[in-house]
Amino acid sequence: MRNAVIIDPRDSVAVAIEPVRQGEAVLYECEGREIHMTAQEDIAIYHKIAVRDIIPGEPVVKYGEHIGIASRPIQKGGHVHTHNLESRRESLETGTEEEKGI
C-alpha cells in the first residue's frame, strides 16, 4: 500500500502519509510508476524521506524547488529533517542590493 507521496518528479524527498518503521518498505508513485525503497530509520507521518542519496552541500528539493542545503550525508530511505537539512536564504544571492533592502 502507498505510504508516501512525492510532490514533484524533480524532488529528492518524498513525504510519509503514514508512520513508517525502520526496515519497512516505502511505496510511492511518481509519474505513473510505483517506486519501492526501504526506510533506513523510523519516519513520522508527514515527515520527509530521501528518495536518493544526497551529499553534504547539495540542495534538497521538494515542490520542485530548493528547501535548503544538506548539512550531512543523507542516505536513500533516510529521514530528512533539522538534523541534516539547513535553511539557506537564497534571496541574498539572487536579489540586488536594493531589493534586499540593505
Partner 1 sequence: MTFSGYRRPDGRAGVRNKVLILPASACASDTARIVSQQIQGTVTFHNQQGCAQVAPDQQLTMDVLAGFAANPNIYGTVAVSLGCENCQMDLVSAAIRERTNKPFRQVIIQEAGGTSEAVKAACRYAGELAEEASLLRREEIPISELIIGTECGGSDPTSGLAANVVIGSLSDRITAAGGTAILSETTEFIGAEHILARRAATPQVRSRIFEIVHRYEKALRQVGEDVRNGNPSPGNKAGGITTLEEKSLGCIHKGGHTAINAVYDYAKQVSPHQGLVIMDTPGNDPSSVAAMAAGGAQIVVFSTGRGTPTGNPIVPVIKLTGNRITFEKMRENMDFDASPLIYGGSLSVLGDELLKLVSEVAGGRLTKSEALGYTEMAIARVCNYV
Which residues are at the interface with partner 1 (CB under 8 A)?
2, 5, 7, 15-17, 29, 44-48, 62-63, 65-68, 80-82, 85-91, 93-95, 98-101
Q: Least separation, in Å, of the C-beta of 28 and partner 1?
A: 10
Cβ of residue 88: shortest distance to partner 1, in angstroms? 8
Rounded Cα–Cα distance for residues 10 and 18 (Å)? 22
10 Å CB burial of residue 42 (0-12, 13-18, 19+) is middle
Residue of 28, 27, 24 lying closest to 39 (CA atoms): 24
Q: Tell me whether residue 53 or residue 90 sits nearer to partner 1 (CB atom).
A: 90
Output the smallest distance, CB 46 to partner 1, in A: 4
Q: Which is nearer to partner 1, 5 or 23 (CB)?
A: 5
Listed in sequence order, the DSSP H helices in the chain are 91-94
Cell numbers representing residue 48 in the block: 520527509
Q: Which is nearer to partner 1, 33 or 91 (CB)?
A: 91
Length of the chain: 102
Shortest CB 60 distance to partner 1, Å: 8
